[in-house]
Chains A and B, each alone.
Chain A
Amino acid sequence: MTRITIDPITRIEGHLRIDCEVDGGKVTKAWSSGQMWRGIELILKGRDPRDAWIFTQRICGVCTTVHAITSVRAVENALNLEVPLNAQYIRNMIVAAHGVHDHIVHFYHLAALDWVDIVSALKGDPEGASKLGATLSDYKANSVPNIRSVRDKLQTFVDSGNLGVFASGYWGHPAMKLPPDVNLLAATHYIQALEVQRVANKIVTILGSKTPHIQNLAVGGVSNAINPDSQSTLTLERLYAIKALIDQLGDFVHNAMMNDVAAVGALYADWTQYGAGVTNYLSVPDLPLDTKGTTFELPGGYIPAGDLSKFQAINSYQDAFFRDGVKEAVKHSWYEYSGASAALHPYDGQTNPKYDDFNDDGKYSWIKAPTFQDKRAQVGPLANVLGMYAAGHEPTKRHLTKLVEVASKVAGTQIPLTALHSTIGRIAARAVRCAVLHEALQNQWQLLIDNIARGDTRTFNRPVFPKGEVRGFGYHEAPRGVLSHWVVIKDGKIDNYQAVVPSTWNASPRDQNDEPGPYEAALIDTPVADANLPLEVLRTVHSFDPCIACAVHMVDADKRPIVQVKAM
């Protein structure tokens, strides 16, 4: 038996350590450990709830926007405060554009290099790659000169010995299986995606006034003033500039990304058998279409044991099934609950650190272990896409069917929907969600334009804080899955604040009943060809898009190795 430790598995997003026991070429046991303590709760206590979002968007360097949005939703929920339609639409567009951005970056710049061999791409033939692209879509940027220029550029990088982002990838690893032409086509889109993600970011910047930290939120709405005639506000001119950016994004998402993901999925079909893990799926509805949050453009809910026929929808911002269903356990986390040994609801949540060592059978992570209806649950694009599919959401069905059709064509065999419960399934679902979000972004833009045309320019309702205690929760289907903030307000000040973030659900350690979290469960039976180069472990963990929301950033001047792999 071999023990592999990968520490950390991510850097900018925070420290995640994965330990695996490998026996007979397969993972037999796994531990996921968050190595940083997060204490936003302690910073917020006693502060004005109207300011909480400014602090929460500093929790994470990748998910700034999502923590800001969820925070204002939680405080609005506590106050029963309605949000003007324009404000909902503007927030929804920020949410959708951010999601599209995040999913593009995840696939091309985080996950793809686990599957696409850049060195092999150099052996690809631009004409072959272009022809291959043409069989999948009429995406114009798949021209021979475009692809040739990318290959020449990669060759220059490799020749200079300065691989940059491509340094120390797993090039030539036996688990890399794409033919050179496919690698070259994907590498071409990798480089195009760098430009495309700027387009998505521009939409967030125009609406949010600034990135990476948006400035336009307020408890009760947004601070964007709408006046079709004034230059300093959200003008029609700016709105039409956004429309042009949305159209530019769509060409890439629908014609390049969806096909790349389908092709990678088809050519790595064996990976549809690995990585299912926890198949209780939790997602929440998002993009509210009314002022109270009772109707949504995108549905969400709970699927127990992978059975879509048992889908239970979450219906509103007041939904008791969701509100009462969430708990967090600390039996295997470096915390202790005073006066309680069982899992606690977030309103009663406590953050009392109790660190000792990494104990395989005891405490081994700074991440708490959340449960839904006392069960482990997987969150993220796969949970969301399956939930929307089960709810009968037409655009989800259409985009998912299209992706499966393309993948089946490339594979030469019909791929069943059950293949989604896997490592590849998580990556495929993220592309489908990206396409759905892009369509939603177009819709939300139209809804905003139509509402302004009706003469409604309201963007803000003033919050009023009562004496005594009120509680609220806000949720958001973020790029990595369900994010919820829980706030207790006493006499207008924050008394307790808990954030249950997507990676808390997925990267968590064992729970109260010693049931493993989604990463841990998904790693079981993952094949490992070479314990010193555990590419397969990374594939499954990266398919969740890990982000540990602690956002430590520090430059190391002494050139210590940033990541260590130990195989013992």
Chain B
Amino acid sequence: MSILVLGLGNILLSDEGVGVRIVEALQASHDMPGDVELLDGGTSGMDLLDMVAERDCLIVADAVNADGPAGRLIRLEDDNIRMLFETRFSPHQLGLSDLLAALRLIDKAPRRVVVIGVVPQNLSLGMDLSQAAANGRDAAVAMIVDELSRLGSAPTPRLH
């Protein structure tokens, strides 16, 4: 089993960076088993190809623009993720969906993809999360720990 937990987002724009903050919080609170890697992917696209290639499972933490109150947690898997990116216009917009599509072309796409998203409140310039997004971050960490446990790769909580 090879699992990558990938945090995406721009930490310079407050809640836009919640995905990165989730990965940081997970790293601070838990030790990962040997088959789980954590990565702060920032806002990169194709640069992540090498890290994402040939994984059994990819768990993406990200800000998700959806209905509902700020801080709401959203979990999307496989087919739902594809639908997210259905409205394409040009082949030049290289985000996560394109990265996954490119990996499918070389038969190296992750077998399973799960997105754990938090609805943001504040996308203005700044390094801090809103209270709502910080709550969402904590809930997301718990959800990812559950997710990993179900996959048989449970992280170990660090004792404080």
Which of these binds chain A: B25-33, B85-93, B133-141, B150-158? B85-93
| B105 CB, min distance to chain A CBs, angstroms | 6
Q: Which residues of A are found within 8 Å of B126, using beta-carbon distances?
A: 43
- B-facing residues in A148-194 (Cβ within 8 Å): 153, 157, 162, 164-169, 191, 194
In the assembled complex, B36 has its CB within 8 A of some CB on chain A: no
Contact A201 B40 (CB under 8 A): no
Contact B105 A157 (CB under 8 A): yes
- With A153-B105, A191-B106 as given contacts, are A12 and B87 in contact (CB-CB < 8 Å)? no
Whole-angstrom distance between the Cβ of A12 and the nearest chain B Cβ: 5
Residue from B88, B92, B95 in contact with A553 in the complex, judged by beta carbons closer than 8 Å: B95
CA distance A194 to B98 in the complex (A): 12
Q: Which 7 A-B pairs have the closest CB atoms?
A: A61-B43, A164-B101, A563-B89, A557-B66, A11-B93, A212-B44, A551-B43
| Complex Cα–Cα for A542 and B47 (A) | 19
Q: Distance (Å) between the CB of B63 and the closest chain A CB?
A: 5
Interface residues of chain A, those whose CB is within 8 Å of chain B, are 10-12, 37, 39-40, 42-43, 55, 58-62, 64, 101, 105, 109-111, 113-114, 153, 157, 162, 164-169, 191, 194-195, 197-198, 201-202, 205, 211-213, 538, 542, 551-565
Min CB–CB distance B58 → chain A (angstroms)? 14
Given contacts A153-B105, A552-B16, A559-B86, is CB(A113)–CB(B65) below 8 Å? no
Given A43-B127, A165-B105, A538-B90, is A553 in contact with B9 using a C-beta cutoff of 8 Å?
A: yes
Q: How far is the CA of A552 from the CA of B11 in the complex (A)?
A: 10
B142, CB-defined interface residue at 8 Å: no
The reply to whether B91 and A197 contact each other, CB–CB distance below 8 Å, is no
Q: Is B132 an interface residue (CB 8 A)?
A: no
Determine whether the beta carbon of A556 is less than 8 Å from that of B84.
yes
Complex Cα distance A62/B46, Å? 8
List chain B residues, Cβ under 8 A from A542. Answer: 92
The residues of A that contact B86 with a CB separation of less than 8 Å are 559
A58 to B13 Cα, complex, angstroms: 10
Interface residues of B in 37-82 (CB under 8 A from A): 40-51, 53, 62-67, 74, 76, 82
Q: How far is the CA of A101 from the CA of B94 in the complex (A)?
A: 15
Give CA–CA (A211, B40) in the complex, Å: 9
Nearest CB to that of A98 among chain B residues? Answer: B47
Contacts A165-B105, A552-B13, A555-B115; is A61 near B44 (CB within 8 Å)?
A: yes
How far is B127's CA from A42's CA once the two chains are assembled, in angstroms? 11
- Measured between alpha carbons, how far is A3 from B146 in the docked complex, in Å? 52
Q: Does B83 contact A (CB under 8 A)?
A: yes
Closest to B101 in A: A164
Find chain B residues with CB under 8 A from A12 CB: 43, 45, 93-95
Q: How many angstroms between the C-alpha atoms of A554 and B133 in the bound complex?
A: 14
Cβ–Cβ contact A194 & B48, under 8 A: no
Give A12 to B46 CA distance when docked, in angstroms: 10
Contacts of A551 in B (CB 8 A): 10, 12, 42-43
Residue picked from A58, A559, A561, A564, most chain B C-beta under 10 Å: A58
Given contacts A211-B44, A555-B96, 12 further A-B contacts (CB under 8 A): A10-B92, A62-B45, A164-B104, A167-B91, A168-B89, A212-B41, A213-B42, A538-B90, A551-B10, A555-B64, A557-B76, A558-B65
| Complex alpha-carbon distance, A213 and B91, angstroms | 25
Contact among A37, A201, A552 with B47 in the assembled complex (CB-CB below 8 Å): A201
- The answer to whether B44 touches A64, judged by C-beta atoms less than 8 angstroms apart, is yes
Does B8 touch A at the CB level, under 8 Å?
A: yes
- CB B89 to nearest CB in A, in angstroms, measures 3
Q: Within the assembled complex, what's the spacing in Å between the Cα atoms of A553 and B16? A: 7
Are A554's CB and B49's CB within 8 A?
no
Q: Which of A39, A164, A167, A552 makes the CB contact (< 8 A) with B10?
A: A552
Residues of chain B within 8 A (CB-CB) of A10 are 92-93
Cα A10 to Cα B88 in complex, Å, equals: 11
CB closest residue in chain A, given B13: A552
Q: Taking the nearest CB of chain A, how far is it from the CB of B55, in angstroms?
A: 14
Given A62-B47, A553-B62, A557-B74, A43 contacting B91 (CB threshold 8 A): no
* Smallest CB separation, A476 vs chain B (Å): 18
Q: Is B110 an interface residue (CB 8 A)?
A: no
Q: Is there an interface contact between A561 and B48, defined as CB atoms closer than 8 Å?
A: no
Identify the closest chain B residue to A205 (Cβ).
B50
Does the CB pair A194–B89 fall under 8 Å?
Answer: no
Q: Are A561 and B87 also in contact (CB < 8 A) when A198-B50, A212-B48 are? A: yes
Q: In the complex the two chains form, is B46's CB within 8 Å of A105's CB? A: yes
**Given known A-B contacts A10-B92, A542-B92, A554 and B87 have beta carbons under 8 A apart:** no
Q: Cβ of A554: which chain B residues have Cβ within 8 Å of it?
A: 9, 16, 62-65, 120, 123
Contacts of A205 in B (CB 8 A): 50
